[in-house]
Amino acid sequence: MCGIAGIVKKQNSRVEREEIRKMNDVMAHRGPDAEGIYIDGVIGLGHRRLSIVDLSDGGRQPMESFDQRFVLVFNGEIYNYIELKDALQKEGAVFYTGTDTEVIMEAYRYWGQDCTKYFNGMWSIVLYDTVQKQIFVSRDRFGVKPLYIYESEEEMIFASEIKCITIIRPEEKAADITQIARYLRGLQEDTDAHTFYKNIRNFPKSHNMIYNLHTETAEYEKYWEIDVKEFKSKWQCRNPYRKIRELLEDSIRIRLRADVEIGASLSGGLDSSTIVGISSKKFHTKMHTFSSIYNEKSCDEKEYIDCMNEYADTIPHYIYPEESEDILQDIKDLIYYHDGPCHSASPYSGYCVYRGVGKQVKVLLDGQGADELFGGYLMFYNAKLKELLRRNTFMSRIKAVKLVMMVQNEWQDKPYLLNNDLLLETLGVRGFRELQKERGRKGFRNVFATKIKYQEKFAQIDLEDNLQGNKAIVSELGKDLHLRFWYKILPRILHDVDRNSMASSLEVRLPFLDYRLVEFSYTLSDRYKINGRWTKYILRKSCKKYLPKKISRRRSKMGFPAPFDKWVGNERYKGQIKEYIDAFKERNIVDSDSLEQIYAEHINGDKNWADELFRIMSLEMWLQNEIDKPGKSWKYEAV
């Protein structure tokens, strides 16, 4: 796990070593153990190292192949590197280190671009072929590891973090209006090329690219995609429960490979607990666990965390974010590491957990991805309800009514769980009014209908179009899961995990995002995911031997909550938060009166607007720190 950077000059100009050094320095948190620089005329590569596998100097990067043909900088881990090394040795490859980095170079030598089809891991790769005079660039299937690119007529710059680019090109600190509009609406992040910086883009996940130095042109190739028909042909089995368990066990097995100690994040939920349970019970690992604890009852999961720690005989570590000396300063730091505003206060809890790890371990296992694969969010009941209504039979409507009643009875503390339109269609006008009266729900105003004038086709990703080519996904739940996995939720979560962990020089490994497990999950019918009252049904059933009943039968869900709704009114932070909100009013982005009204409603306890207010505060912090010029605040001007 590391940070990478590089510059490719066009028109035969030369790379300056000092620029690569600046890029390395600004991301030192990603790799405090070592750094390296390689310069060859028009090419400059930089690397910061976090030593995980083969801690010797043999693992330093940029790494040159034994014949000096290839030069590689690499961020991530290839978990199946031992198996790939064995296969390559049978082909005649010779290795001089114990690193996965060297395996990547030799895999590219033998398989070319197809090498990424064999990799099981997370990565951003830049490989320079000194003979062919071309650069090979690749990013992992799900975009776990970041890679940003800036390109002009004079150069192409790439890096693990945007700040590596803006440190040498400060003129590129320009806001992307489309991304700001999406952000304020609570829409997608990291789902396409857009970033919060106008001219700096995401390198696409699941893609390779060859850049030819002679022609100064790039060719992209998508090496992996979700193809349900292919997955069903590939992963046929008679016992899905056993197959899921075996795949997850093997995913954890290869992610326990390291030359340093490994721990795990533990929230007390099903996903992280399953990882801890398998690591402890199956592989007899004495795990350090790290958990975020709040005194606020609505965010307190300590009873479940304690239960799992006792069951798995772990070494527990509890982090208390509210004991921070200055939460708002922490959030400013968080925005710095994220290279942009944060979507909610939730990433702050993860940030505090990773920061609290200290020097205990260098690697953590975490449970991201399971909710989107197996139906872990309660909102997925809307898809089940929509499916029943689509069938439009007497029995399906009876089942729809029963589903509504079950959800309302089971999760009375989540009154807005089901979609209003679906409730109205299910219960009719009278039943809907009675339910709304019982819930005491207020009408919703789209406060964040911004003043920004932008092209709708760019600001709103057409998610339905992204289902084309996946026509085998026929159920409403299947479609919803796919969209949240590939576009709506998981990309944003992966963004948070990488930036939060690397801020504290930690590598986070995600067993549920083993591509084999992902492919198999797409072959499962709905009943394996949401079954009656149970979300993630197949995971609960297949892995119950690794969990105490208190966890395996837990239906409540928090994730990584943070009580920002209380912080807004906290006397210590109230004045500063209001200053940020008032400053944002002057930027001509949202209606000032509406913003003032939701702030008053929140302070008075009429309605919880915590997420919306956090987005405003976070965006204002970022604009002040990154976009405003000395003596002049940036303001949106409609074109």
Active centre residues (catalytic): 2
Q: Give the CA distances from residue 146 to residues 21, 90, 129, 198, 490, in Å, rounded to whole numbers and listed in that order.
A: 20, 33, 22, 17, 14
Tokens matching residue 570: 């906290």
Tokens matching residue 355: 């920061």
Cα–Cα distance measured from residue 221 to residue 139, given in angstroms and rounded to the nearest whole number:
11
Cα–Cα distance measured from residue 10 to residue 157, given in angstroms and rounded to the nearest whole number:
11
Cα–Cα distance measured from residue 613 to residue 626, given in angstroms and rounded to the nearest whole number:
20
Length of the chain: 639
**DSSP string covering 49-117:** E---S--SGGG-SSEEPTTS-EEEEEEEEETTHHHHHHHHHHTT---SSS-HHHHHHHHHHHHGGGGGG
Place of tokens 């299910």: 426
The DSSP secondary-structure symbol of 505 reads: T
Contact partners, residue 351, CB within 8 Å, separation at least 6 = 330, 334, 337, 500, 503
Specify whether the backbone of 202 is left (phi greater than 0), alpha (psi in -120 to 50) or beta: beta
Report residue 42 CA to chain centroid gap.
33
Cα–Cα distance measured from residue 384 to residue 395, given in angstroms and rounded to the nearest whole number:
14
Of 229, 144, 244, 224, nearest to 521 by C-alpha is 244
Determine which helix (DSSP H) or strand (DSSP E) holds 155, and give its type and residue range: strand 155-159
Q: Are 537 and 531 in contact (CB under 8 A)?
A: yes
Place of tokens 């996946």: 470
The DSSP secondary-structure symbol of 467 reads: G
